[in-house]
Structure 1
Amino acid sequence: MNTHINAGLRLDNVPISKFHRRLALLVGLGMFFDSFDNTLSAGVLASMLPTGFSTLELNSLFLSVTFAGLAIGAAFAGWLSDRVGRSFAFQFSLALFGILALCAALAPSMQVLIALRGVMSVGMGAEYVICWGMITEFIPSRHRGRYLALLGVFAGLGVSLSSLLGWVVIPAWSWRGMFVIGGLGSLIAWWLRRGMPESPRWLESRGRYEQAEAILQRIERESGVASQVVAPTPVAHQADEKAEWVPITVLFSRSVIRRTLMALFLTVTCLIGSYAVTGWMPTFFVKQGMTVSKSLGFNAAIMSGYVAGPLLIMFITDRIGRRRSIMMLGTLSAIFAGIYPFTREPALIIAVGFILVAMAASFLIMCSGTAPEFFPTAFRFRGSGFAQTVGRVSLIFSPFVVLWLFTHYGIVGVILAVSGMYIAVTLLYGVVRVDTSREALEQIIPGGDTDDAPRGPSAVHEMQREVDASPGPSLSG
């Protein structure tokens, strides 16, 4: 006889405590160095050309390998997290790109650096997926929006500091210094979070009830509540029984496919939109007649929206709910993307561009952080990892699409296409109304996750039809 510990409900019922704040800080450090290492390419590659260490062709290959590694890492993170555990995958991905960043600093040739970057990017892509998932699994749902936005602030700071340090470090210590900073910082973060507990939700889904109960009691003690927030109920499990492994094909089953597609559409749109807005901004300025130096100055001012946007969202998303936040941010991104090509005055260019970047960055954060909530614990990381993988693959091809639009229709064509994407996915999300409540997630788990969960596909489909007919999700989810 064992106990069914009801991890999800108990984790959602505890108040925010030092445990949650410490976890958010440690997860945020991983996101910070992930963003730092992902962003250092621009300064590093530019500095290699005058020295002859690299060429334009090799620089392009470096970027392509990075995109490919990020996509592979996203898929790898989903499988490893659901199969082996969140904690192991979390630490493994950070150690992977931290160690390889230090190796990259010693690369004797550009070819070796490209090979190291490819494997390093697998760890970066995995870390990105796992960070969002860890917030979803540990932070109570009523506070989750704020902590997702906080994670976005860490990412924005990583992007900003990478650019700033590159300006100082590369002239003094060459491009190798950037990899040393990223690698050492990542390994320090790895050491600080070595004691981070495994997710009780995952432990429960795998039948490891005693371990899950011990971690839950620790969290409840640190949160100042008794362990009987949700009274454990006996269930007839053998001590060594493991919950059934759910195959990846569940993502395309009748009861889950709508969630999979919605997560995919949100992720692809937020990644391509953010890339098109931020990656092409200096080019747009130059085409409007600015000098390169003035373009970069405008770009630096506007890119500060990457931090300001998430800071603002921290204070409103839990008030209006994550679904409404995503719809609001998608709408505002579409509006300001539509206005931006027609601004000419420098003050307006900075103001509109700043708001556009802030909205696009916030939309990216909320979509990336909300996607894991679409799936139950048994395949949560594979669901969000699949969406991230498709999104990262789309980034490989998006520069060619952007370039084609830019060549044939100019700045207006690119920005209005991005605006149209934001409008389309926002309307779709408003119509689909995916329910992310715990009860709805339990109903789509094959075989059930609780004693009263549906058994067999017919029962699952019947309960899913009831969900489809419901008035919609709770705004807190």
Structure 2
Amino acid sequence: MADAVAAGGSAPPAAKGEGHVSVADRMNRIPTSPHTALIIFFVLMGWFAETIDLGGTSFLMPTIREYFGMDAATGGYYSSICFLGMFFGAIVAGRIADKVGRKKTIIVSMLIWGCAGFALVFSPNIYYLFTMRFILGLGLGAQFPVALSYLSEIVSGKDRPKFMTLYQLMTPVGFAVAGVLTVLILPHFDWRGVYLAEALPALFIIGIVKICPESPLWLEAKGRYEEADAICTKFEQEAIARHKELPPVEIIERTNVKASFKDLFSSKYLKVTVLCFFIWFISMFSDYGLTTWLTTILIEKGFDVVQSTGFVTIGILGGIPAWFFTSWSAKKFGRKKTFLIAGLCTSIFGIAYGASTTLVMLLVTGVLYQFGKYLNAMMLALYTPELYETSIRTTGNGLATSWGRMGSIVGPIVLAGVMTSFGVYVTMYIAAAMVIIPGLLVFLFGPETKDKTF
């Protein structure tokens, strides 16, 4: 059997005891097949659908504030109520996914935010609006860390930077689509029509149910060896059919122990857990704190709602080259240096964006600022799951993203106060400048996880 593995055939079933070849080791050398690509597609589309809904509110904020008579503070609370839901969703979902599975948790989370998104369309008053937005946030917050962990466990270590950052590329693409939908629909069907259009992509849940298997790494960690082996063997057979043979299994020594939430604060993980708190909180404070108010800030500069939405949408396209750069840089220079580059780009170009006084400068610096911002977001998505082992990965990832949701809650409220007291320029300077901090923290104190296997 060992000869078969060395020759590139299927490995022996995952099982305890002598001669055990883990599913993680087997999966790590399997190239991406059409079947794997289809699984990845539906995971990406699930997050893409979520980001359309998440991004829409920033474009609709001026219209919703006017419709419901909200002042700036109430508008900040409306943005933050979704992130409050995401905070609780991320914490709870991480632990649930480590107990009952990745796939089930993703499906339930999509059902929650999809149904709440449709219900949001029929909001008769501000109380119903806030309630539905909170419930929607529960589902959004649950889906992100679980799907991220699932994706990291389905692809090989070699392909992980490409697909993990591609997952985050769905954020600027989804936000851009939300902007386009706003420009096309808002003048004719008001904000309800936009919210309805943004809820429809939740139907991608059908692909998750029918196409995506449970994570074989999670099944193995739970002792369900035959199920894990069956899924892994299918991936191996598909790869062999295309590539004739597979590379030999590189066996990595690892311990398979049960982990609990408190282990995140043990001596083994305490440093990275604290690191995740700061990098996620600060990044999301700046990101969503500023994103919530970007359209409003541009209106303050003299542009109308449709123009402001269009300018923000163009800027968001800077996230597309960020994906290509991240995929290349994370493998070439490692995670730490790429994180530092992200922080520098976001801070420098964000400050320049805030100081822009001409249309050309506004568009150019807007694209460059979004490039840095999404580079930072993609590195968060790639780096965080690599800091934890399979048994606790989704719990750790969920806690990390919940720190980020705390920043997302506080950011819009704090920056609304800054904008009211000091104006739009100071608001943008503060939000942009602080993103250098996560880059420095990872560069100085974070472990390098380049080429890490699970």
TM-score normalised by the chain length of structure 2: 0.84
Equivalent residue letter for 1:230: V
1:363-374 superposed matches below 5 A:
363-374=376-387
Change (3 A) 1:82 1:475: closer
1:263-274 superposed matches below 5 A:
263-274=276-287
**1:191 matched residue in structure 2:** 206
Match of 2:265 among 241, 252, 269: 252
**1:180 matched residue in structure 2:** 196
The question of 1:230 aligning with 2:249 is answered yes
**1:56 matched residue in structure 2:** 70
The question of 1:119 aligning with 2:100 is answered no
Change (3 A) 1:43 1:137: same
**Deviation of the 1:311 alpha carbon:** 4.5
**1:362 matched residue in structure 2:** 375
The question of 1:16 aligning with 2:21 is answered no
Change (3 A) 1:99 1:136: same
Q: Look up the SS of the partner of 1:255 in the other structure.
A: coil
The question of 1:88 aligning with 2:104 is answered yes
Match of 1:214 among 230, 236, 241: 230
Equivalent residue letter for 2:387: F
CA distance in 2, matches of 1:40, 1:201: 35
**2:5 matched residue in structure 1:** none
**1:319 matched residue in structure 2:** 332
Change (3 A) 1:359 1:89: same
Match of 1:347 among 360, 363, 381: 360
Q: Look up the SS of the partner of 2:28 in the other structure.
A: helix
CA distance in 2, matches of 1:281, 1:72: 26
Q: Look up the SS of the partner of 2:249 in the other structure.
A: coil
**2:302 matched residue in structure 1:** 290
Change (3 A) 1:265 1:20: farther
CA distance in 2, matches of 1:10, 1:190: 28
CA distance in 2, matches of 1:394, 1:111: 23
**Deviation of the 1:183 alpha carbon:** 3.5
Q: How many percent identity over aligned positions?
A: 22
CA distance in 1, matches of 2:316, 2:62: 19
CA distance in 1, matches of 2:294, 2:115: 33
Is contact 2:90-2:142 (8 Å) kept? yes
**1:309 matched residue in structure 2:** 322
Is contact 2:281-2:404 (8 Å) kept? yes
CA distance in 2, matches of 1:21, 1:207: 27
CA distance in 2, matches of 1:23, 1:355: 32
Change (3 A) 1:369 1:220: same
TM-score normalised by the chain length of structure 1: 0.80
**Deviation of the 1:409 alpha carbon:** 5.6
Change (3 A) 1:166 1:425: closer
**1:31 matched residue in structure 2:** 47
- Higher RCO (CA-CA < 8 Å; seq separation 6+): 2
The question of 1:67 aligning with 2:67 is answered no
CA distance in 2, matches of 1:419, 1:63: 19
Change (3 A) 1:338 1:103: closer
CA distance in 1, matches of 2:135, 2:238: 38
Match of 2:436 among 423, 429, 433: 423
Output the aligned Cα RMSD. Answer: 3.1
CA distance in 2, matches of 1:220, 1:428: 39
Change (3 A) 1:335 1:102: closer
**1:168 matched residue in structure 2:** 184
**2:4 matched residue in structure 1:** none
Change (3 A) 1:475 1:191: closer
Change (3 A) 1:127 1:379: same
What residue ranges of structure 2 are gaps of 5+ in the alignment?
A: 1-13
Residues 128-157 of structure 1 show CA distances to partners (whole Å, capped at 9, x for unaligned) of 112221221111122211112222222222
**Deviation of the 1:314 alpha carbon:** 3.9
What residue ranges of structure 1 are gaps of 5+ in the alignment?
A: 234-242, 437-472
The question of 1:6 aligning with 2:22 is answered yes
**Deviation of the 1:317 alpha carbon:** 3.5
Equivalent residue letter for 1:150: L
Query: Mean Cα displacement is larger for which, 108-117 or 215-224?
Result: 108-117
**Deviation of the 1:386 alpha carbon:** 0.8
CA distance in 1, matches of 2:343, 2:54: 25
CA distance in 2, matches of 1:228, 1:365: 29
Change (3 A) 1:97 1:246: same
